[in-house]
């Protein structure tokens, strides 16, 4: 993909970096050290934390690896060790390519769920080694490799009868229109109770 930087004022930078961070955040069940009214803090596992340099300012002498340059117009020597940067006044586009691991799970967030999976792309602008600006954007990741086969939905019908003395019974029947669910889909069902 690519990243577009649109400065609102002139911005002097010498390096642009991209970082992709993927984390699983989960809550463990209550442990003896926590009461039922308080929850333990969530735990975090990092799936991916990769950085890539998208752009670095270089003069021609820096590209050629020259240490000392003689400037004929100024009749003086200067060193390429002197920090160099570029001033951006209009938008600039930088290509970015960071590969996700093939085992990366898809993004997932559902209110009240004990697990969430989050991916974010952070762009950082530097000048002389100091971060002068950054922006983070959440990414939605869908892992098509984890889908092994096409699943054909089928309805589910479950029945259970409870027998009591004097030939009495209660029968329950539950009908779900499908056996394939997504993480945020509303589950519609029909429950029939028969009291005999």
pLDDT tens-digit series, residues 115-134: 899 999 999 999 988 999 89
CA atoms within 13 A on the CB side of 28: 10
CA-wise closest residue to 188 among 153, 160, 164: 153
Tell me: pLDDT of 147 over 70: no
Do the beta carbons of residue 162 and residue 49 sit within 8 Å? no
CATH class, range 2-146:
mainly beta
pLDDT of residue 35: 57
80 pLDDT band, cuts 50/70/90, is very low
Give the per-residue pLDDT at 21: 93
Residue 184 has pLDDT above 80, yes or no: no
Q: Does the pLDDT at position 106 exceed 80?
A: yes
The secondary structure element, H or E, covering residue 62 is: helix 60-64
Q: What is the pLDDT of residue 12?
A: 87
- pLDDT tens digit string along 41-70? 888 999 899 999 988 887 666 666 665 555
How confident is the model over 131-144, as a mean pLDDT? 85
Closest C-alpha among 60, 58, 110 to residue 85: 58
Q: What is the pTM of this model?
A: 0.58
Q: For residue 123, what pLDDT is reported?
A: 92
| Per-residue model confidence (pLDDT) at position 8 | 84
Domain residue ranges of the chain, discontinuous segments joined by +: 2-146, 156-195
pLDDT, tens only, 2-47: 888 888 888 888 889 999 999 999 887 655 555 555 667 888 999 8
pLDDT for the residue 136: 92
What length is written for the chain?
196
Question: Residue 82: which of 65, 72, 67, 60 has the closest Cα?
Answer: 67
Q: What is the mean pLDDT of residues 179-194?
A: 78
């Amino acid at each position: 993909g690519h990243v577009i930087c649109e400065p609102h004022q002139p911005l002097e930078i010498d390096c642009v970096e991209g970082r992709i961070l993927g984390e699983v955040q989960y809550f463990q069940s209550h442990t003896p050290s926590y009461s039922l009214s308080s929850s333990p803090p969530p735990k975090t596992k990092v799936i991916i934390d990769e950085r890539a340099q998208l752009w670095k300012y270089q003069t021609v002498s820096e590209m050629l690896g020259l240490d000392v340059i003689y400037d004929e117009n100024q009749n003086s020597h200067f060193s390429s060790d002197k920090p160099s940067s570029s001033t951006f006044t209009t938008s600039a586009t930088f290509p970015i390519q960071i590969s996700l691991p093939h085992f990366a799970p898809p993004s997932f967030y559902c209110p009240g769920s004990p697990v969430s999976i989050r991916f974010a792309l952070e762009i950082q602008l530097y000048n002389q080694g100091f971060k002068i600006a950054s922006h983070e954007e959440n990414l939605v990741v869908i892992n098509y490799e984890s889908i092994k086969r096409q699943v054909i939905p089928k309805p589910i019908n479950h029945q259970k009868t409870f027998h009591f003395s004097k030939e009495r019974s209660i029968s329950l029947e539950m009908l779900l229109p499908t056996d394939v669910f997504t993480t945020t889909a509303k589950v519609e069902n029909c429950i029939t109770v028969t009291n005999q």
